[in-house]
Structure 1
């Protein structure tokens, strides 16, 4: 039995603190052949033998494309006030580009946004959560600089179509994952294994962010625009000088490579020096484009990384090592709520964003359904309580944290892991598409009603 957890009351947060839940298009929508949607890089990647652990794909996922009303009802019933979703680029431009967007795709997201507003949910739209149109990949994808312009056009169209109702926009979700997992390690779409290409992709992603910021501001002048980064506190494996130096180098590529240029500092000199010929090609004006002023920074926090010096560990000569101490999630990630405070304090100290949002925080566990049909996921309940308490602590020390989004509303397609890993507040029976609120969802609902439910 887990020990009791006593998070603050929700009323101890600022009155305008935004509580939300998050999803992404490819992970929940399904309907991959419906409504004129084109093929995405994940549709193609999932057909590669061995790419997905259970051989599955994002079809039908949670069939959200057809069941969105039920899902928004679930979100509203939790008591959250915001819903973060992503827009599938192939639903809008099946070929990635074009003079006329797909009207059925536009209509779907218009209905979805109207459904959120009807239920009192503030829409938070993410433009890119990894589902690039396959047609663009066949022209080089993010390695081809022309994709920057295609993304800017996509952003402008969505701003024109939804900007009267969507006031908060995220350009990219976790560009580190797109670049490194998709183009260096090959475990995400498009499945490439080329470090130099990954570094060029990371640069193009950041430039496209800056161009999308400008496009959105042109289409929807009152919109609040930002980007979401996956950030980690970096800890040395020991006090040896070699490990201490390795932690600095690793932080350079994991965190500073994205944060520094976004906040007008350019790419970190130590990382550029270490990359040498593998550094990306930068065109005049790119750094100004990347640093287009944003209204907020989204942070996805899951765990810290422990790093050791490793002479054979790639360009930066580092290695992330397994943390054997303390609890871990079913993904093998260490549970460390205090790391979230450490990270947020660091971001505020070094970059001073105008506002910070935790745009994802959540945990995967081996959920077990009882004979009564309930999922009593006390570990996830404890995880959320600890991390909400950490968010409150960050506020007390002066971090301008404005909101917290739980990942995720629904169990879903967990990328290379397929359907074997569950993060949801709501259990999804993929065979029947039945939804059941888990104990963690019940806990969050009670917490948001300012009830102390663990005594």
Structure 2
């Protein structure tokens, strides 16, 4: 591949970008999360997870007061899902497992065979058509029984998660060769335990997110080593995790803004990636020192960010075969003048960093108010991760754009083309990117936004009993990119009919 790329660049010079191609072994996929699409929330042995509990007991926290009791009803429509994968020509599909569908008590003492059968059927249907299943063990839907025991603020979550992982590896590892332990630690810990953006809405600011961060990372490492030592020798495969990384450059070239940018990056994502991927292991230096100093000022006897033991640092360091990267947007970061200006809750991770962010009004905005299309943001994130962590293997496991509906989603098309152009550019610079997964495969329950924001390549009619799926323009454009391995800015689908290429 290297020889072909070099030849193309040498012959075409500055025009090389117009013919850049993705390698044949590059994995194009799409992604979903179990709670968001499966439905069947309380049948065939499944018990409640913390999103079931939240939406049933506090429906007003969801924008449209909806829930995912039925959602896309993938539990009954999984064959249609695989048919859609074939229509797009996907190489791979990333989906997550529902912990409480497999282990109804949350513990490994009882395995729900109906749940196992569902996932076996789903995986086998993909493999029938040479679609590679990439499985996430945890995508934000902790069994409610475990949440009532403290969830990710209880150190025993390390044992509970490893037990769950071992059950899953033993059940599906003969066919699944790509494993992601956790998706989005920031969203799990900061938004769920330090704030109220996600379930369980613990809002234990400045403490809950840090307990969660430590126990989640150790739980990940335990599961990784369990796979590496006890399953990989016979099953093959690889195991990593996905970390959400948006691009946060300094607003100005001042030393203050540069320091603020680094601190904000450490708070938002490096707190989860440095312990695994950095050369030294452990927490990011500047951020851990800041939290320790703030904690002392606030009268705490020790840092609110709990220390790793030397044994834990060694356990977590290097515990990933690849870097799963989720990306959506960007913002400029600048230093605040005072805590009053920041308006932060004390204590909190926001107060610990005490920085400000801004997004230019000229950037296109999606249906999600937080989501703006920043120029070259994915390129900048990928090159930053590549340099920060000495060239890890990377999969872009989640990247997408929201609309309010409709089939002519030109803004999604523009976004996907821009992001995949970024991926092509870093590929041609020699960075190890092995795959790209668009979010989302189809419309789904988008957490506290409910069904008011639509990320899907496929429109889902949530009013129909069948949950009818219909391809959007973005699906046709993505299909064309996959088939031709190029980003063609001039391609326009003749219509929105989509069919299966039987050769796939």
**TM-score of the two chains, using structure 2 as the length reference:** 0.85
Which of 481, 490, 493 is the matching residue for 1:447?
481
1:430 aligns with 462
Shift of 1:186: 1.0
Shift of 1:68: 0.7
The structure number with the bigger radius of gyration is 2
**Partner secondary structure for residue 249 of structure 2:** strand
**Partner secondary structure for residue 187 of structure 1:** coil
Do residues 17 (structure 1) and 26 (structure 2) align? yes
Whole-Å separation in 2 of the counterparts to 1:84 and 1:337: 26
Whole-Å separation in 1 of the counterparts to 2:316 and 2:282: 9
Q: Is the 8 A contact 1:309 1:317 kept in 2?
A: yes
Going from structure 1 to structure 2, the CA distance change for 1:7 and 1:72 (only over 3 Å counts) comes to: farther
**Partner secondary structure for residue 376 of structure 2:** helix
Alignment of 1:50-449 (within 5 A): 50-194=60-204, 195-217=206-228, 218-221=230-233, 222-264=236-278, 265-276=281-292, 277-310=303-336, 311-312=338-339, 313=342, 314-332=351-369, 333-368=371-406, 375-432=407-464, 433-449=467-483
Going from structure 1 to structure 2, the CA distance change for 1:353 and 1:154 (only over 3 Å counts) comes to: farther
Q: Is the 8 A contact 1:19 1:404 kept in 2?
A: yes
**Partner secondary structure for residue 96 of structure 1:** coil
Shift of 1:254: 1.4
Whole-Å separation in 2 of the counterparts to 1:423 and 1:279: 35
**Partner secondary structure for residue 235 of structure 1:** coil
Between 1:408-417 and 1:227-236, the stretch displaced more is 227-236
1:3 aligns with none
Between 1:319-328 and 1:417-426, the stretch displaced more is 319-328
Which of 10, 28, 35 is the matching residue for 2:44?
35
Q: Deviations over 1:398-444 (max 9, x none)?
A: 21111111111110000010000000000001011111000110111
Shift of 1:395: 0.5
**Partner secondary structure for residue 383 of structure 2:** helix
Shift of 1:77: 1.1
Q: Is the 8 A contact 1:26 1:88 kept in 2?
A: yes
Whole-Å separation in 2 of the counterparts to 1:89 and 1:201: 18
Shift of 1:447: 2.2
2:300 aligns with none
Q: Is the 8 A contact 1:303 1:334 kept in 2?
A: yes
Whole-Å separation in 1 of the counterparts to 2:437 and 2:18: 17
Q: Deviations over 1:236-262 (max 9, x none)?
A: 233444333211211121132122101
Whole-Å separation in 1 of the counterparts to 2:254 and 2:21: 42
Unpaired runs of 5+ residues, structure 2, are: 1-15, 293-302, 343-350, 492-504
Whole-Å separation in 2 of the counterparts to 1:337 and 1:115: 38
Whole-Å separation in 1 of the counterparts to 2:483 and 2:310: 52
Between 1:35-44 and 1:329-338, the stretch displaced more is 329-338
How many pairs does the alignment contain?
443
Going from structure 1 to structure 2, the CA distance change for 1:8 and 1:219 (only over 3 Å counts) comes to: farther
Shift of 1:283: 4.0
1:372 aligns with none
Between 1:46-55 and 1:280-289, the stretch displaced more is 280-289
Shift of 1:292: 4.3
**Partner secondary structure for residue 353 of structure 2:** coil
**Partner secondary structure for residue 243 of structure 2:** strand
Shift of 1:326: 2.1
Q: Is the 8 A contact 2:89 2:483 kept in 1?
A: yes
**TM-score of the two chains, using structure 1 as the length reference:** 0.93
Whole-Å separation in 2 of the counterparts to 1:256 and 1:412: 29
**Partner secondary structure for residue 74 of structure 1:** helix
* Aligned-pair Cα RMSD in Å: 1.8
Going from structure 1 to structure 2, the CA distance change for 1:342 and 1:203 (only over 3 Å counts) comes to: same
Going from structure 1 to structure 2, the CA distance change for 1:354 and 1:315 (only over 3 Å counts) comes to: closer
Whole-Å separation in 2 of the counterparts to 1:357 and 1:429: 31
Q: Is the 8 A contact 1:91 1:105 kept in 2?
A: yes
